[in-house]
A and B are shown apart, each in its own frame.
Chain A
Amino acid sequence: MRRLHPTVSFAALGTLALLYLPLLAVVVFSVNASRHGFVWRGFTLGWYAKLLQDEYVLELTRNTLVLAFVSTAIATVLGTLLALGMQRFPWPKPARFAMELVLQLPVVTPDIVFAAAMVVMFGLLRLAWSIFTPGLLTMIIGHVTFQTAFVALVVRGRLALLGPTLDEAGRDLYADRLFLFRTITLPLLLPGVVAGALLAFTLSLDDFVISFFTAGPTSTTLPIYIYASVRRGVSPEIHALSTLIVLVTVFLVLSVERATRYRKE
Chain B
Amino acid sequence: MTRIVVWYGQLISRPQLYRRGLLLVCSGFAWLTLFLAVPLAILLVIAFASRSAYGEVEWTFTLENFRRMLGFGALGWSSNTLRILLRSAWVGFVTTLISLLLAYPLAFFIAARPPRTRYLGLTLVIIPFCTNLVIRSYAWMLLLSPELPFAQLAQWLGLVPHFGALYPSAAAVYIGMVSTALPFTVLPIYTNVERLDWSIVEAARDLYASPWRVFFQAVLPQTLPGLSVAIILTFVPAMGMFVIPDLLGGAKYWLVGNLIQQQFGASRDWPFGAALSFGLMLLTFVGIFLLRRWRAEGELV
Binding site for B on A (CB under 8 A): 1-4, 7-9, 11-16, 18-23, 25-26, 29, 37-39, 78-79, 81-82, 84-86, 88-91, 99, 102-103, 105-106, 108-121, 123-124, 141-142, 144-145, 148-149, 152, 164, 167-172, 177, 202, 205-206, 208-209, 213, 223, 226-227, 230-231, 234, 238-239, 242, 245-246, 249-250, 252-254, 257, 261
Contacts and interface: CB of A to CB of B under 8 A. Distances in A.
24 contacts: A2-B112, A11-B106, A19-B125, A85-B21, A102-B29, A102-B33, A105-B36, A105-B40, A108-B285, A108-B288, A109-B284, A117-B36, A120-B39, A121-B42, A167-B10, A172-B9, A208-B132, A208-B133, A209-B242, A226-B135, A239-B142, A242-B132, A253-B123, A254-B123
B231 interface: no
B273 A23 contact: no
B106 A230 contact: no
A245 B25 contact: no
B219 to A, nearest CB: 11
Interface in B36-72: 36-40, 42-43, 46
B128 interface: yes
B9 A171 contact: yes
Contact of A84 (B24, B36, B236): B24
Nearest to A171: B9
A91 B9 contact: no
A18 B264 contact: no
B293 interface: no
Nearest to B7: A90
Contacts of A111: 237, 240
B131 A81 contact: no
Interface in B183-208: 183, 198, 201
Contacts of B140: 22
Given A81-B27, A110-B236, A112-B280, A102 B127 contact: no
A197 to B, nearest CB: 14
Contacts of A171: 8-10
Contact of A230 (B8, B119, B130, B141): B141
Sorting the interface of chain B by its residue count into under 10, 10 to 19, 20 to 34 or 35 or more gives: 35 or more
Given A144-B31, A167-B8, A169-B9, A249 B132 contact: yes
Given A120-B274, A121-B39, A113 B281 contact: yes
B32 A149 contact: yes
Residue of B31, B110, B139 with most partner-chain A CB within 10 A: B139
Given A105-B37, A111-B237, 16 more contacts: A11-B102, A26-B135, A37-B147, A85-B23, A90-B5, A103-B32, A109-B281, A110-B237, A116-B43, A144-B31, A145-B35, A148-B31, A171-B8, A226-B135, A234-B141, A252-B130
B132 A245 contact: yes
B247 A230 contact: yes
Contacts of A121: 35, 38-39, 42
B212 interface: no
B138 A230 contact: yes
B134 interface: yes
Contact of A15 (B7, B102, B131): B102
B22 A85 contact: yes
SS of B interface (majority): helix
Contacts of B39: 117-118, 120-121
A14 B39 CA distance: 43
Contacts of A79: 28
B147 A253 contact: no
A148 B301 CA distance: 38
A257 B17 CA distance: 36
B261 interface: yes
B260 A113 contact: yes
A202 B243 CA distance: 19
Nearest to B261: A112
A164 B8 contact: yes
B32 A38 contact: no
B131 A116 contact: no
Nearest to B30: A78
Contacts of B112: 1-4
Contacts of B143: 21-22, 25
Nearest to A231: B247
A112 B179 contact: no
A36 to B, nearest CB: 11
Given A11-B102, A223-B132, A145 B243 contact: no
A13 B20 CA distance: 52
B25 A112 contact: no
A257 to B, nearest CB: 6
Contact of A116 (B31, B110, B147, B260): B260
B170 interface: no
A76 to B, nearest CB: 11
